[in-house]
């Protein structure tokens, strides 16, 4: 690590992203002292972590790792209750809390009595998240938690995390090598380059529209223009209400879905226009190619 | 078969200081004492070096060298040195024989635990001793028990040799039987030794069932 200085704001998801060898995992592990920094300071709520005894520090920080790392000899319920047990909670209370969390992360309570080997990779990862949340820590460290599961499961785990975060407002530091995951999950994204230098720290939209340098631009990939559209609202999209909704056209949720989704719907339509619907699925209008073109031009300049 | 009937059917064999119960008890006593002593040495040492990762190579090399020691030679050596007034000339070689399998399997068992699991345990805030006791040992238990079982079987078999020194144990039936051409005793003694070893094997299998978590042995069906 080289003079890395950044702040992970309370209640937000800060993502460290970068190629392998950029020190993103090392940076994460310095926060809970799995690795001790040789120089410099890491402050947690204003207190230097170096002053806190590591096990005590770690019990107050949720930790989720790539392979879940569940204890194979313990049932799911007891895995989730690991930290409450360590903190000396009453067993009954710890188990009640664990049950509550299993449901919270979207797992069938019937899994509580199973052992980890009886669960799928995605289920194990959910248990890993539940375990990290068990003692209700304000801070959560997640080290490539979803990279070992298949893409479909990964997407559902990401959505689940965003849903949970909307309820819980934890301060999350999330490490990934996947820029799409970083952009999807991060309130702020720190792009690191090899050697542990911070290349750019920005919200995803700024990152896509104003990459700081060639390294970031290259890391974002070729289709960053398209991906930037996922941060552009469809609210301002001009709709025609005098046209009938074409048969078999793609739909998008007007005002909620991004311009990217609307464009995608249009591209999949035989007529080239997208049908705007509201939350009840009622058609509110048609976004023609001209309207989309205008919105694209505006997005490109704004 | 006649020899077996002669041996087991003779009431005189079932009483006195050289009867079956007394010899069986002696055999059990020597084997159990040697195994417990070996456990007391090898298990903590194996846990320590497996957990800290220090001194592993040295221990494995030493243990493998010790495996090559001829037990009979050691037995004779210790009897010459210490005489036959106590049981120690028998116990010491048996302990030396029993330590390596326990030590190596305990060490390898602990060291072989998935590093991610160890990482998760520390990351949850377990202290070093808790990581060892609550995670590493339960997960490594099948290997640790395997070491104990191998040692136990070896000790039980080798205790037979103890009879050479004039001390007791089931080996006496075989050795004395050969000396006096009492083949009923030789065959009967051999059968007893084999049965004894089988019982030990079964006892360990049972202990494994009871102590190893189903999550580790993966005995349960994936539902």
DSSP letter string over A141-178? EEESTTTTS-HHHHHHHHHHHHHHHHHH--EEEEEES-
B139 contacts in chain A (CB < 8 Å): 71-73
CA distance A42 to A50: 8
CATH code: domain of residue B170? 1.10.3720.10
Q: Above 70 in pLDDT, residue B223?
A: no
Is there a single domain that holds both residue A156 and residue A191? yes
Mean pLDDT of chain A: 90
Question: Shortest CB distance from B135 goes to which of A32, A68, A71?
Answer: A71
Is there a single domain that holds both residue A145 and residue A202? yes
Most confident of A63-67, A74-78, B54-58: A74-78
Q: Could you list the residue range(s) of the whole structural domain that residue B44 is in? A: 19-213
- What pLDDT is stored for residue A256 in this prediction? 86
List the single best residue of A34, A55, A85, A114 to mutate versus B (max B Cβ within 10 A): A55
Q: Above 90 in pLDDT, residue B37?
A: yes
Q: Above 60 in pLDDT, residue B222?
A: no
Chain B residue with minimum CA distance to A32: B123
Q: Which residues have CB under 8 Å from B223's CB, separation 6+? A: A114, A118
Q: How many CA atoms lie within 13 A of B120 on its CB side?
A: 27
Task: Give me the mean pLDDT over the A16-30 stretch.
Answer: 91
Mean pLDDT of chain B: 90
Is there a single domain that holds both residue A151 and residue A167? yes
Question: Shortest CB distance from B125 goes to which of A55, A66, A73?
Answer: A55
- Hey, what are B65's tokens? 């060298």
Per DSSP, B163 falls in state G
pLDDT in tens, B119-167: 999 999 999 999 999 999 999 999 999 999 999 999 998 888 878 777 7
Q: How many domains does chain A have?
A: 2
What is the signed CA dihedral for B126, B129, B135, B139, rounded to 10 degrees? 160
Whether the CB of B218 is below 8 Å from some CB of chain A: the reply is: yes
CA distance B26 to B196: 12
CA distance B126 to A54: 9
CA distance B17 to B186: 18
Q: Inspect the interface and report whether the beta carbons of A74 and B222 lie closer than 8 Å.
A: no
Question: Shortest CB distance from B123 goes to which of A34, A67, A114?
Answer: A34
Question: What percentage of residues in chain A have a pLDDT greater than 70?
Answer: 99
Confidence of residue A302 (pLDDT cuts 50, 70, 90): low
CA distance A182 to A16: 8
Q: How much is the pTM?
A: 0.84
Q: Could you list the residue range(s) of the whole structural domain that residue A295 is in? A: 232-301
A118 contacts in chain B (CB < 8 Å): 220, 222-223
pLDDT in tens, A130-154: 999 999 999 999 999 998 888 888 9
Is there a single domain that holds both residue A195 and residue A253? no
Q: Above 80 in pLDDT, residue B219?
A: no
Q: Inspect the interface and report whether the beta carbons of B126 and A57 lie closer than 8 Å.
A: no
Confidence of residue B1 (pLDDT cuts 50, 70, 90): low
Confidence of residue A163 (pLDDT cuts 50, 70, 90): very high
CATH code: domain of residue A286? 3.10.580.10
Q: Above 90 in pLDDT, residue B103?
A: yes
- Let me know if residue A76 belongs to a domain: yes
pLDDT in tens, B156-204: 988 888 787 777 889 999 999 998 999 999 999 999 999 999 999 999 9
- What pLDDT is stored for residue A250 in this prediction? 82
β-pair type (A171-176, A283-287): unpaired
Confidence of residue A227 (pLDDT cuts 50, 70, 90): confident
Is there a single domain that holds both residue A290 and residue A219? no
**Three-class SS state of B183:** helix
- What pLDDT is stored for residue A289 in this prediction? 87
Q: Above 80 in pLDDT, residue A222?
A: no
CA distance A29 to A21: 14
Beta partners for A296?
none
**Three-class SS state of A277:** strand
Chain B residue with minimum CA distance to A120: B222
Is there a single domain that holds both residue A202 and residue A92? yes
Number of H helices, E strands in chain A: 13, 11
Residue A35 CB burial class (10 angstroms; 0-12, 13-18, ≥19): middle
- Chain A: closest CA distance from residue B98 (Å): 28
Residues of A with CB under 8 A from a CB of B: 32, 34, 54-60, 63, 65-75, 82-83, 86, 114-118, 131
CA nearest neighbour of A116 among B94, B214, B40, B132: B214
Is there a single domain that holds both residue A289 and residue A184? no
Q: Above 80 in pLDDT, residue A54?
A: yes
A75 contacts in chain B (CB < 8 Å): 215
Confidence of residue B220 (pLDDT cuts 50, 70, 90): low
- Chain B: closest CA distance from residue A114 (Å): 8
Q: Which residues have CB under 8 Å from A132's CB, separation 6+? A: A62, A63, A64, A140, A142
Q: Above 50 in pLDDT, residue A237?
A: yes
Whether the CB of B175 is below 8 Å from some CB of chain A: the reply is: no
């Amino acid at each position: 690590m080289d003079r890395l200085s950044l702040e992970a704001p309370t209640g937000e998801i800060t993502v460290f992203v970068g190629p392998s060898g950029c020190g993103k995992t090392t940076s994460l592990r310095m926060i809970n002292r799995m690795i001790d920094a040789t120089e410099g300071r890491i402050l947690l709520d204003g207190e230097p972590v170096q002053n806190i005894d590591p096990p005590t520090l770690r019990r107050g920080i949720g930790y989720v790792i790539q392979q879940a790392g569940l204890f194979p000899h313990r049932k799911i319920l007891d895995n989730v209750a690991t930290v409450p047990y360590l903190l000396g909670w009453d067993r009954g209370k710890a188990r009640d809390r664990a049950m509550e969390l299993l449901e919270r992360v979207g797992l069938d309570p019937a899994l509580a009595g199973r052992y980890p080997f009886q669960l799928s990779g995605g289920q194990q990862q959910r248990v890993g998240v539940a375990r990290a949340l068990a003692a209700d820590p304000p801070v959560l460290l997640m080290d490539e938690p979803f990279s070992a599961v298949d893409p479909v499961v990964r997407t559902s785990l990401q959505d689940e995390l965003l849903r949970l975060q909307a309820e819980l407002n934890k301060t999350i530091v999330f490490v990934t090598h996947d820029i799409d995951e970083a952009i999807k999950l991060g309130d702020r994204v720190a792009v690191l380059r090899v050697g542990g230098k911070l290349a750019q720290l920005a919200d995803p939209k700024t990152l896509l529209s104003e990459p700081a340098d060639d390294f970031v631009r290259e890391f974002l990939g070729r289709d960053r223009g398209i991906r930037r559209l996922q941060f552009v609202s469809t609210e301002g999209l001009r709709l025609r209400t005098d046209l009938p909704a074409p048969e078999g056209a793609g739909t998008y949720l007007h005002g909620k879905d991004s311009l990217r989704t609307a464009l995608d719907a249009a591209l999949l339509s035989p007529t080239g226009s997208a049908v705007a619907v509201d939350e009840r699925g009622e058609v509110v209008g048609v976004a023609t190619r001209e309207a989309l073109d205008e919105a694209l031009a505006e997005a490109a300049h704004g | 078969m006649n020899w077996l009937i002669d041996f087991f059917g003779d009431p005189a064999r079932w009483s006195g200081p050289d009867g079956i119960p007394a010899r069986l008890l002696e055999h059990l006593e020597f084997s159990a004492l040697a195994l417990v002593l070996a456990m007391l040495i090898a298990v903590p040492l194996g846990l320590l070096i497996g957990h800290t990762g220090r001194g592993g190579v040295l221990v494995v090399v030493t243990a493998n060298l010790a495996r090559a020691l001829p037990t009979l030679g050691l037995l004779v050596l210790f009897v010459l040195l210490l005489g036959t007034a106590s049981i120690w000339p028998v116990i010491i070689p048996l302990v030396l024989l029993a330590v390596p399998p326990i030590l190596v399997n305990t060490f390898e068992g602990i060291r072989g635990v998935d590093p991610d699991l160890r990482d998760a345990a520390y990351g949850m805030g377990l202290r070093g001793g808790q990581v060892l006791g609550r995670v590493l040992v339960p997960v490594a238990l099948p290997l640790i028990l395997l070491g104990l079982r191998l040692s136990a079987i070896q000790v039980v078999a080798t205790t037979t040799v103890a009879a050479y020194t004039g001390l007791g144990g089931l080996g006496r039936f075989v050795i004395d039987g050969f000396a006096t051409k009492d083949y009923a005793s030789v065959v009967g003694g051999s059968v007893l030794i084999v049965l004894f070893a089988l019982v030990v094997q079964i006892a360990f299998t049972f202990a494994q069932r009871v102590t190893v978590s189903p999550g580790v042995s993966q005995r349960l069906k994936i539902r």
